[in-house]
A and B are shown apart, each in its own frame.
Chain A
Amino acid sequence: MIKAILIFNNHGKPRLSKFYEHYTEDTEQQIIRETFHLVSKRDENVCNFLEGGMLIGGSDYKLIYRHYATLYFVFCVDSSESELGILDLIQVFVETLDKCFENVCELDLIFHVDKVHNILAEMVMGGMVLETNMNEIITQVDAQNKMEKAEAGIAGAPARAVSAVKNMNLPEMPRNINIGDISIKVPNLPSFK
């Protein structure tokens, strides 16, 4: 079982938090802080597993994380999950984000956290891995987005126009903080079918 999925940046700012067990908002924030503290002090070339913190975890739980450019992707899992499997799953997640957002960067996650949630929902459900096949995930996400667009229809047009105008007002909005070399793969780890 996956207990929580956290994404935060190099400064510990949460970009997505998904807890599959209930915590109060305060505890959630503490967990994010603690996890960030644990993960951020580790070197780049050390292993991607570490024992859970005080708040989230216990002897059965592990934190499995990957660091891409400015973002940390952290999964807190128990012993029923395969460590290497989860590492692959993170890779699949990031690659899927990359496909859905076309060259994903931290800003995409900042402004479209709802979309990230929707993508995640197609991969992990209630703490259990639902789908590991990237094509399948993308197909389902696209189909749902299409439905959304169809529903918005003509009524959505003015809203879109307005948001385009709003974006025009912010020419400095950077789009170049790339998430880095997304194609780094763990050696000897063919992704799941």
Chain B
Amino acid sequence: MALKIVKGSIDRMFDKNLQDLVRGIRNHKEDEAKYISTCIDEIKQELKQDNIAVKANAVCKLTYLQMLGYDVSWAAFNIVEVMSSSKFTYKRIGYLAASQCFHESTDVIMLTTNQIRKDLSSPNQYDTGVALTGLSCFVTPDLARDLANDIMTLMSHTKPYIRKKAVLIMYKVFLKYPESLRPAFPRLKEKLEDPDPGVQSAAVNVICELARRNPKNYLSLAPLFFKLMTSSTNNWVLIKIIKLFGALTPLEPRLGKKLIEPLTNLIHSTSAMSLLYECVNTVIAVLISLSSGMPNHSASIQLCVQKLRILIEDSDQNLKYLGLLAMSKILKTHPKSVQSHKDLILQCLDDKDESIRLRALDLLYGMVSKKNLMEIVKKLMLHVDKAEGTTYRDELLTKIIDICSQSNYQYITNFEWYISILVELTRLEGTRHGHLIASQMLDVAIRVKAIRVFAVAQMATLLDNAHLLTGNMQRNGICEVLYAAAWICGEFSEHLENPMQTLEAMLRPKVATLPGHIQAVYVQNAAKLFATVLKSQEGNTDSTAAQETSQLMIDRLPLFVQSANLEVQERASCILQLVKYIQKLQQKDVEVAEEVTALFAGELNPVAPKAQKKVPVPEGLDLDAWINEPPSESESEDEQPKAIFAKEEPKHSRPRHTEVDEKELARRREARKQEQANNPFYIKASPSSQKVYQEAPGVEHIPVVQIDLSVPLKVPGLPMSDQYVKLEEERRQKARADKKKKEKKKRKEKHSGRGKKHDSGPESEEDIAPAHQVDIVTEEMPENALPSDDDDKDPNDPHKALDIDLDKPLADSEKLPVRSHRAAEALKSPAEDGETENAASQEPKKKSSKEKREKKKDKDRERKKSKEEKKKKKKHKHEEKEEDLLGGQADESVVQSDETSMVAEPPTSTSAEVSDLDFWLSNAPVPSNTQEAVTVAAAAEAAPEPEAPSGAAPDSEPDEPKDTEMEETKSSKHKKKKQKKEKEEKEKKKKKKHHHHHHHSDGGGEESVQNGTVEEEEPLPPMSNYCLLAENSYIKMVYDIQGNLQDGSQVVVSVIFENKCDSFLKSMEFNVLDSLNSKLQRPEGSGPHDGLTVPFQLPPGVSNEARFVFTVQSIVMSQKLKGTLTFIVKNEDSSTHEKLDFKLHFTCTSYLITTPCYSDAFAKLLESGDLKGSSVRLEGVNMPFHHLLARICFHHHFSVVERIDSCASMYSRSIQGHHVCLLVKTSGQTVCIDAKCDEPTLLGNVLDEIKQTFSQC
């Protein structure tokens, strides 16, 4: 044995290791591939040996070969072997190899699950670390599902090294197994405040990644991140958080307001450019989200632009680049502030760095105006001439076209100039964007009617000089412009000066070398031209000219008839025959011009790109319905089901379609085909000319031959755009002069001695009148087109699955699957917990059967889940039904809606978090220079949900759309409103939930109702749990107490403060004298007698709610706590300190939490005999039974387990887990309540309180 080991290690010594391999490869430069293939053979031998060290060495070499591009997936199993070695050295090699070459479709991955689990729980932290690192690269959905729970446990590992890795890998797990997000999220959130900075940074990293994709779900974390931002000193973390805020602000403008100040401070204070840059970026995002709403943010914009200018002016190219990048973001909303730095940006166009030039080009797009467009484009044209390298030149070309054509040619005042620019661009050699220029030419010529004469003349010259453009014929994309030129000349041939010349130019033999789709257009438009020429010639007495033209056509067209391109051939032969016929007629002296022109009569209008999509479906037309009965596979099969489901048949068959047998159908189909074939108007599925045009075959694949550019490529007869610039300048000056004259005249006429106003001022935008009265033809749309939204998100985006509401409490079905004996996670609900433990204890020791069982369990769980879903659906339906009913109650007071929402949600996390965010946000520092605005804004913020419409009102005041820029603002506002609406809806839903929660089975009209309150019979009167705490002439406080499900020793007191006076109330401080049993929770570091600051101020007439957490020890007795509220009343002139004493009454009811209970569980509970009984009788209760039940449910936090006639069982649980069961019976006006509870004192008190509730009404 020992000998064998020694022998092994000696063998090993002479094996090649990684270094030897690398050295070998370097020494075999000539026959590298051959050398490597021998090495791979060696490696294969090594992998066959038993010695793990040899295997590890082989795998290590394979990892290197993988980097060189060799497929090593054949060794996947050996990699798994090395991974499972007990030695760290080999394990690391194995995991590295796996992380480099494993992926989702590697089948051996499923063998690794148990090995990875073992490594994750290894006592050696580096084993765990290596496993986590490897897993992060090759995690699959299966691995994620199976290991999610183990990794989640590691998030609370004692070693920060493991914690940070576990936290980070959770993101990958979420991506592969989205169901794990909700169960794991609370712990992830905890890690944001981990003492170790590395772990904290990892948590921030993960949440930022999550939030980037679905920001709205993470809004509630904003306060926490805000705290981190103000406290953290780690730049890396700060950058991440600031980036995250950039993603959140568009959803919550109030957040933006709160952020501006700290961010501005950071901008001023930080020395790290990276941080400064991200701050500026986020401030920009904030400003975009606030849009024009805030006037005094111009300072922030100025600051940003200023800082960016510094970046751009920096000698460091990186900063310059980023500065320009950020600048382009400002440009979208605040173009004015960027425009003032035009000089700087134009300067960047000359930068030697191409990336920077490209960024500067992006910026130019937003900087043009009517005034400077020509100047800027002129500069760009210069760059085009100078540019080396086609990529940059092509980029320039597209930018020029983008800039000019933006927002429907808004900035173009002189289209002649634009056409000549386009014509100049055609001189570019080797550009790929010929089609772009062509489409621009077409677009302008079609849509700007006034320019057609000019355009046609230009195009005619282009056609004449086609040989210059296409020096190498179809070897470069620029010949595409001939397509446009030919079409324009043909379509608008009436404007041609010399149509005959153009016609000849179009029929030159050289045309036959152009790409097919262009030839096709040539032929077609030659026909159009021919028609025009005929028409002009027929007026003359001499008919020979006309006949000569026909002869020309007949001579030249055969060239095209022989074309290899089908389209060209077809058109040419058609037209040739036509012309021959015309010639015949001409010889008989028949006037044909009229008829020939009629062939091409009518104007072609542009069609909007989405016109087809937007045609509305006529009412009553179901596009999915079968026109004929769907063809069946075979007749016999068709017959059978009909017989079986005879009864159902009438439902499905449409009466219109009488049954047609197959033969008849076939006959009809044949007939239809025949008809279609004969119908010239039926469009068959053949490639249209349009398509051919787009698929310009092979142009790109042909190597571009560079032409020596030193030869000036001036096309004779073509105008230079520069001359138009001069002309335009003159024209404008003239116009100005005219205007001045007119004004003078006016002034003279009026004899008024007013000073000069318009004379010397710089020319403003509106002063520049376009040279032509431009009539831009809008694109055609079908009548009553539907507005369609275009944002089609990528359905394959893996992040979509992570759009999960994180605030909802966890459902039982959501826990992570556990596959081992380990105790279940604390996060799981008690019920499920018990189940798993049960299952675990019963688990037999055989492994194989364990697997089976687990599968079964999974199935069970799934079944359960689907059941629950069904129930939920039912519930939903029900809610919808109730909508009207509830609509009536919707406009109840603030208090009402708020309070119902609280009751509705036993674990108050959702509502608490939502409104916590609101509080936090409402605390935003508001600029105080405009007192009035502040009050309005504060009011809007202070009363979050129900007053939302009024809150939106001040925002929407400056909402008169002036130009396109305003439009954007508007849409963002819409969003805002929508969000608010959604919020409201949420509230409503919660409210509904209150009525329906635990409404598991829909009782319908039956008498027995399980687990549901019973308000179907009659609407309930409005109820409120808020009772008066204290009141004086300034303020009124009402409160409600709720148990905290998560923490058995906590209750939450919600207090609504209402300002009753006309003054501003601020600096409110809430303080309670603690008793031994109950204590107010104060922030760390404050003394036991310190008050809590109420986190908001109250403008007159406004109310807002604050929550205070109390810890209680014993909950069996009710008790009262004395307290004081101090506050400052601020008038315009004075401010006074006031105080208000109150007594907080903690009833026993407030320690109860509405908990649903199934009747079987309820029966078990009663049978168990642990509960002690007690009973109470209520006399003279004059209300319907279901009202009575609803009241008990509502005021005392019970839920109905089962109701039969006038008898109902109810259940509730205290925060410390006491079960309280009631049996309520009624006969006449007497109500008898038998109760059982494991804590008699508590029960007694609860019953007393119930009695009191009913004695009050």
Contact = CB atoms under 8 A, between A and B. Distances in A.
Interface in A150-176: 151-152, 155, 158-159, 162-163, 166, 170
Interface in B977-1024: none
Interface string A137-152: 0001001100110011
Interface range, B side: 35 or more
Interface string B213-245: 000000000000000000001111001000100
Secondary structure call for the A interface:
mixed
A177 interface: no
Contacts of B92: 118, 144, 148
A1 B213 CA distance: 12
A43 B352 contact: yes
Interface string B127-150: 001101100110100000000000
Contacts, number: 179
A190 to B, nearest CB: 6
Contact of B318 (A14, A22, A84, A163): A84
Contact of B168 (A26, A80, A125): A125
Contact of A85 (B23, B67, B137, B274): B274
Interface stretch (B7-15, B430-438, B1071-1079, B1249-1257): B7-15
Contacts of B66: 25
B198 A47 contact: no
A125 B169 contact: yes
Interface in B52-108: 60, 63-64, 66-71, 87-89, 92-93, 96, 100, 103-104
Contacts of B69: 25-26, 28-29
A144 B234 contact: no
A130 interface: yes
A117 B198 CA distance: 20
Contacts of A190: 235, 271-272
B104 A22 contact: yes
Contacts of B352: 43, 46
User: Of residues A17, A127, A128, which shows the largest number of chain B Cβ atoms within 10 Å of its Cβ?
Assistant: A128
B677 interface: no
Contacts of B171: 126, 128
A82 B326 CA distance: 13
Given A47-B321, A189-B272, A166 B20 contact: yes
Contacts of B450: none
Interface stretch (A68-76, A96-104, A108-116): A108-116
User: Of residues A43, A45, A188, which shows the largest number of chain B Cβ atoms within 10 Å of its Cβ?
Assistant: A188
B585 interface: no
Interface stretch (B203-211, B457-465, B1107-1115): B203-211
B18 interface: yes
A106 to B, nearest CB: 12
A48 interface: yes
A177 B1133 CA distance: 79
A24 B353 CA distance: 33
Contacts of A34: none
A50 B355 contact: yes
B1166 interface: no
A95 to B, nearest CB: 16
Contacts of B14: 162
Contacts of A158: 9-10, 13
B1086 to A, nearest CB: 31
B316 A114 contact: no
Contact of B89 (A18, A24, A84, A148): A148
Interface string B296-328: 000000000000000000001110111000000
B182 interface: no
Given A25-B70, A128-B205, A162 B137 contact: no
A191 B995 CA distance: 58
Contacts of B93: 114
B212 interface: yes
A75 B315 CA distance: 23
B189 to A, nearest CB: 18
B96 A192 contact: no
A82 B20 contact: no
A112 B93 CA distance: 13
Contact of A131 (B89, B198, B239): B198
Interface string A32-60: 00000000000101111111000000000
Contacts of A49: 318, 321-322, 355
B103 A170 contact: no
Contacts of B322: 49, 83-84
Interface in B111-166: 124, 126, 129-130, 132-133, 136-137, 139, 161, 164-165
B5 to A, nearest CB: 8
Given A82-B277, A126-B169, A1 B209 contact: yes
Contacts of A114: 18, 60, 63-64, 93, 96
B22 A111 contact: yes
A112 B322 CA distance: 36
A88 B542 CA distance: 85
B692 interface: no
B87 A151 contact: yes
B658 interface: no
B1226 interface: no
B68 A188 contact: no
Contact of A88 (B17, B19, B26, B274): B274
Nearest to A33: B69
A136 B133 CA distance: 17
Contact of B23 (A26, A112, A170): A170
Contacts of B71: 24-25
Nearest to B124: A147
Given A130-B202, A132-B236, A189 B273 contact: yes
A193 B318 contact: no
A128 B88 contact: no
User: Of residues A140, A152, A166, which shows the largest number of chain B Cβ atoms within 10 Å of its Cβ?
Assistant: A166
B126 A143 contact: yes
A128 B69 CA distance: 25
Contacts of A28: 69
Given A87-B318, A147-B88, A163-B19, A192 B236 contact: yes
A94 interface: no
Interface string B269-301: 001111001100000000000000000000000
A48 to B, nearest CB: 5
A186 B88 contact: no
B356 interface: yes
B172 interface: yes
A118 B133 CA distance: 10
Contacts of B206: 128
A184 B126 CA distance: 33
A159 B205 contact: no
A49 B411 CA distance: 33
A187 B318 CA distance: 11
Contacts of B9: 155, 158-159
Contact of B103 (A22, A130, A131): A22
Nearest to A167: B19
Contacts of B278: 82
Nearest to B165: A125
User: Of residues A49, A84, A170, which shows the largest number of chain B Cβ atoms within 10 Å of its Cβ?
Assistant: A84
B154 to A, nearest CB: 13
Given A111-B18, A113-B67, A80 B353 contact: no
5 contacts: A14-B68, A26-B69, A47-B353, A49-B321, A111-B22
Given A25-B66, A147-B89, 4 more contacts: A29-B69, A82-B278, A112-B18, A113-B18
Interface of B: 9-10, 12-14, 17-20, 22-23, 26, 60, 63-64, 66-71, 87-89, 92-93, 96, 100, 103-104, 124, 126, 129-130, 132-133, 136-137, 139, 161, 164-165, 168-169, 171-172, 197-198, 201-202, 205-206, 208-209, 212, 233-236, 239, 243, 271-274, 277-278, 316-318, 320-322, 352-356
In the A-B complex, the 6 residue pairs with the smallest Cβ-Cβ separation, listed nearest first, are A126-B136, A84-B274, A47-B317, A22-B103, A46-B353, A29-B69
